[in-house]
Amino acid sequence: MRQPSPLLIIFISLITILAVLINLPNSINLPIKIWGVNNIRLINLNTFLAAFDIKRDFSLKKGLDLEGGTSITLKADMSEIPSAERNNALDSAREVIERRINFFGVSEPIIQTSRSGNDYRIIVEIPGITDVNQAVQLIGTTAQLTFWEEGASPSAELATDSAALLPFGVAQILGPNAKKTDLTGKDLQKAVVTFNPNTGVPQVQLTFTPEGSKKFAEITKRNVGKIVGIVLDNQLIQAPRVSEPIFGGRAEITGQFTTEQAKNLQIQLNAGALPVPLSVLEQRSIGASLGNVSLQKSFIAGLIGFLVIVVFMIALYGQLGVVASMALTVYTLITLAIFRLIPVTLTLAGIAGFILSIGIAVDANILIFERMREEMRKGKSNYVALDLGFSRAWASIRDSNIASLITSAILMIFGTGIVRGFALTLAIGVLVSLFSAITLTRTLLRIIFR
């Protein structure tokens, strides 16, 4: 029989320790005495990284049904959209809203469209955000970007009329006859937050598309020595003077931004403008349907179920059951650590996917042990039965896990919201169970049978 690889043992030990550190609560004070020190304090990875001024949140993220959040119903104004294009416009608006929410790092939002006669609505449910005003601002801000230049000298009367129609601040800088160029946010390829190397102030760097780069070059070429106004949401935010033509297709929006403001501006520009005007019909905070009490009860029920499985495996398989229980414990720690690292938003459906994957992990161990027993009944030694048992069970485990992964992939592609959450937790659990059954359990048994 092959001996367990020392490198593999070290690898398993390291990822187990790392998983424990990630899953530890913020701090635990153990009422024990070690080397004369009372109340030993265990710290998790969050606390450890914070000591080096590294911020990374490894907390489990809970979904709308476990943590609550915000629900907003938006009405789309289709009065200026041709009838044949209204469904596409509504779907486009839903995609823009989803993009904006995803840019903000909100996981598993529920975004649905509703059509009834001439009534077009979008229902948005965002977990974890209980500030309704923040949520409305997050999904409803248009962020229209335009560039303005000086116009021809007008007569006094015409200038007064046209100045009233200009964005705020443009007339004061570019004169009452300023005109909008053909360069807009549609020509934007991407926006990123950078920091001024001299002042350290955050700014937003714009990169235009090839067509936008040509437009920007033409604008700067004909305005050398003049001011070009950058207008965001009908307000002048910057008015740089052009010293020379710019051909690189890049511009910077500077100002007294905080880092958070610059990040929000970047998100709004990257997400694009809404194709139809939206108004808020209803906005409300919604509580967790399960609540903390129910969540704790679910945790206790899961713990009891885990212990019953451990007792069952030990009673049925003895020493092999002890090994399977150890592997199952490590499997649970690694899976939860991955949920925290990605991070995965846990909903009730997500928890169901995780529990289902635990069953799959136990099933793999049972398949292996039964094959080993068959070999032992034939008179094979433990060493031989171990290798034969794993090799004979591998095909069944592989095929059943691939089938589960295919199902998860289909649910991820065609499902929405909590269905995707279920598929994601199931897929992660299946992948970790493969590692647990084939690598972890086999290594532990090789150590025992050595």
**CA-based angle 428:433:434, to the nearest 5?**
105
pLDDT at 406: 94
What's the alpha-carbon Rg for the chain, to the nearest Å? Answer: 30
Please state the pTM of the whole predicted model.
0.60
pLDDT at 428: 94
Contact 181, 215 (CB under 8 A): yes
CA 42 to chain centre: 29
- Across the beta sheet with 235-238, the strand order is 179-184, 145-149, 229-232, 235-238
pLDDT at 140: 62
In three-state form (DSSP H/G/I as H, E/B as E, the rest C), the secondary structure along 128-156 is CCCCHHHHHHHHHCCCCEEEEECCCCCCH
Tens place of pLDDT per residue across the chain (450 aa): 566 778 888 998 999 988 888 888 766 665 656 566 666 666 666 666 766 666 667 777 777 777 777 888 888 888 877 888 788 778 877 877 877 776 665 566 778 888 877 888 888 888 777 677 767 776 765 556 788 888 765 554 445 555 557 888 888 888 888 888 888 777 877 778 888 777 778 888 888 888 888 888 888 888 888 888 888 767 787 787 787 788 888 877 776 777 777 776 776 666 555 667 778 888 877 766 655 666 677 677 778 888 888 899 999 888 888 988 998 899 999 999 999 888 887 887 888 888 888 888 888 889 998 998 888 888 888 878 888 888 888 888 999 999 999 999 999 888 766 788 889 999 999 999 888 888 888 888 888 877
pLDDT at 103: 62
Contact 209, 188 (CB under 8 A): yes
| Alpha carbon distance 351, 288 (integer Å) | 15
Q: Is the peptide bond before 343 cis (omega within 30 degrees of 0)?
A: yes
pLDDT at 271: 58
Contact 229, 174 (CB under 8 A): yes
Q: Name residue, tokens 């608006």.
A: 93
Smallest CA-to-CA distance from 168 within 221, 78, 232, 106 is with 232
| Alpha carbon distance 159, 124 (integer Å) | 44
Cα–Cα distances in angstroms (integers) from residue 232 to residues 131, 273, 275, in the given order: 25, 12, 17
For residue 57, count other CB atoms closer than 10 A to its CB: 9
